[in-house]
Chains A and B, each alone.
Chain A
């Protein structure tokens, strides 16, 4: 996104362009990134799309020839519900993450340098233990015999037969828990560069605290907001381990279905088809957003 674009900007010079030399230097600088992206992103993605068009092999491999059978298979009546659940769980988790991360980033940026380091450390601290271990920890906390459930029942805040684990609520909770730091960090980076005198200027001009925050702070960190949105939404849409471990049979996400097709059904083309569907669902909004951002930086301001 941003780094790629800044590489394309050629150095300032007033004289006539010497296209050959400059282009070569630009290419040389960009080449490692391009090779990396082609080998590890473009080729595998293309393979996934291609495999979706091959027939399945009963032995669990990929058959000969080409077929549209998988595409028809994707019309299964069970899928729309799963796709809908995947989308709303991810969107709601992203919204909650951004909603929590914004005030955190704001206060982090306003803290003194010393205390800021400590709070940042606390934000990053969960990364010191493995992601799966942390999900298992949540299973323990939310377990029907766990202290949280027992405590809530004891306080008569929930009935004896209700469950905290193995449902969409548990997935949402753990999604938010897992991705919150990823939302806080880019927002904090943006908030740290924000000129807080602008908030005072807005207040000085008659805006109440909240209005000043919305009309000046939010646009000021919009880039960080967009990064945080993508960094949370994309992995949330593709999450597999979280719904697998804390979700139940009624709360599967696309990620679970893809895994099922690969490991239980041994139907690689079908798994590839689902993956392609997910990849498109992620890429289309990202491309639209990037295009929108480019237009915005090109066009002039409103009168």
Chain B
């Protein structure tokens, strides 16, 4: 099946500064795709290229097999939900939603019917006569979505649509967006710097950094098998274990001489040879933390002694920072059982850190700079 929407080898620069480099991306019809990355990573530029506000320096944009790179925004069957809503302040809610239909010279009955349906969809029928200034942030957001959807676009672009809302409202709007998507079935291209937003809403995620699309995959793929240290550290939290390959155990496992942790067994996600420099990412919740040395099988799992340096109780889980040899490791322990019957681990305690070889994931690319993205306790 050919891609429904496609960025083909897109490159863009402002003056001499490249902001987007060699981006290739295909969206399937009807999916919710999120572009995530820190601010300045080029995701908004990419969105504006899709909308037609920016002509890319190189590459092509295809919609339904047709090259639309040169089309102006008003000629594209693509609509945008703008970051700060961009509702027309002089028009009522009704007229804001009707704007696209009026421009398209739809008949009066068509306009009334289509806008009525949209007001129904966003559940704001009783506010139709209000001006945007009289609405709350969440209501404005819904009007912006309705206004963009009323023309029945092939692709809906959402530019950080929830950035201006508070946390509770953001969570409600995420559910609302999910419901709207289910009802209209339009393809969504969603841009955000918030990885939890992207994870909870999307079918697939693309992680961007410094103008490049680093990795594309389902939320679980991105979280469980990040290809680079940036993706691993930006999506969720993690620990990096750096070392050299000591010996190959079998086709699935090898032993890594880690810089701090000593010899550990690592799952062989990618082909390696003895002597290779390797970085493994291990998510904090993959560890288990015990007071006594567990009876582990050294072939498939690892166990290292450690000292608790920081304990943060969060309710459903506790976050620890433990030090083993010279490495600070972030650990999250879920509390599945009633906690008060147990003697919890406390600051300064000696403990054992255990994880299975295949709970870690070998990275393709590691940059020390990405360590800065990890959550670390203040010294």
Contact = CB atoms under 8 A, between A and B. Distances in A.
Interface of A: 195, 197-198, 200-208, 211, 215-216, 219-220, 222, 300-303
A208 B95 contact: no
Contacts of B92: 300-303
B53 interface: yes
A201 B74 contact: no
Contacts of B4: none
B88 A201 contact: yes
Interface of B: 51-53, 72-74, 78-80, 82-84, 86-92, 94-95, 99-100, 103-104, 128-131, 147-148, 151
B74 A208 contact: yes
Nearest to A296: B90
Contacts of A222: 90
Given A200-B82, A201-B80, A301 B95 contact: yes
B103 A211 contact: yes
A31 to B, nearest CB: 32
A206 B79 CA distance: 9
Contacts of B87: 201
**Chain A contact residues: helix, strand, loop or mixed:** helix
A208 B86 CA distance: 17
B329 to A, nearest CB: 45
B129 A300 contact: yes
20 contacts: A195-B84, A197-B83, A197-B86, A200-B86, A201-B87, A202-B99, A204-B51, A204-B52, A204-B148, A205-B79, A205-B100, A205-B103, A207-B74, A215-B99, A222-B90, A301-B94, A301-B129, A301-B131, A302-B129, A303-B129
**Chain B contact residues: helix, strand, loop or mixed:** loop
Contacts of B90: 219-220, 222
Contacts of A300: 92, 129-131
CB-CB nearest 3 A-B residue pairs: A301-B92, A205-B100, A201-B86
B95 A195 contact: no
Contacts of B95: 301-302
A207 B103 contact: yes
A195 B88 CA distance: 10
A219 B131 CA distance: 14
Given A204-B79, A205-B147, A301 B100 contact: no
A16 B72 CA distance: 57
Contacts of A200: 51, 53, 73, 80, 82, 86
Contacts of B128: 303
A200 B51 CA distance: 10
Contacts of B100: 205-206
Contacts, number: 80
A211 B73 CA distance: 13
Contacts of B129: 300-303
Contacts of A302: 92, 94-95, 129
Contacts of B89: 198, 220
Contacts of A211: 103
Nearest to B130: A301
B104 to A, nearest CB: 6
B103 A204 contact: no
B82 A197 contact: yes
B151 A206 contact: yes
A198 B84 CA distance: 10
A302 B93 CA distance: 9
A274 B72 CA distance: 56
B131 A203 contact: no
A222 B90 CA distance: 10
B53 A216 contact: no
B83 to A, nearest CB: 8
A216 B88 contact: yes
A206 B100 CA distance: 6
Given A198-B86, A301-B131, A204 B94 contact: no
A219 B79 CA distance: 23
Given A206-B151, A301-B95, A301-B131, A198 B88 contact: yes
A92 to B, nearest CB: 28
Contact of B80 (A195, A204, A215, A303): A204
Contacts of A303: 92, 94, 128-129
Given A201-B88, A206-B100, A219-B90, 14 more contacts: A198-B88, A200-B51, A200-B82, A202-B103, A203-B53, A203-B74, A204-B79, A205-B74, A205-B79, A208-B74, A215-B99, A220-B90, A301-B129, A302-B129
Nearest to A194: B89
